[in-house]
Amino acid sequence: MLIGTNLQDENENGEWLLDAIDEVLTGKVSNSTVGDVRYVVLNLNKTSVKITDPYRVGDSQRVMETGVFKKLLIEWLRRKYEYYKLR
């Protein structure tokens, strides 16, 4: 789901996306659409994240709990950092 997105880029720390997630989790905003993740659009709210791949034909959406998505993203960024550090 994150492969090929700009979150995979070596110097991308994902802070802007983590901030958007925190804004919906804390209730600062009720929902947010993040379209600057290359190849996917994320619709965030306090309970769920809808991930849409506008380039995929057919089943192009996935939904997961926002807290789970945040944990997944943090782990993705940690492992990506380790990958680039070891190269």
| Domains in the chain: boundaries | 6-80
Looking up tokens 């709990």 gives 65
What is the model's pLDDT at position 24?
97
| Residues 59, 66, 11, 38, CA torsion sign | positive
- pLDDT tens series, the chain, 87 aa: 677 788 888 888 889 999 999 999 999 999 999 987 878 899 999 999 999 988 888 888 999 999 999 999 999 999 999 999 888
To the question of pTM greater than 0.75 for the whole model, the response is yes
Q: Backbone dihedral region of 7: left (phi > 0), alpha (psi from -120 to 50 degrees) or beta? A: alpha
Q: Which of 24, 59, 15, 51 is nearest to 35 (CA)?
A: 51
CB 49 within 8 A of CB 64: yes
Residue 5: what residue type? Answer: T
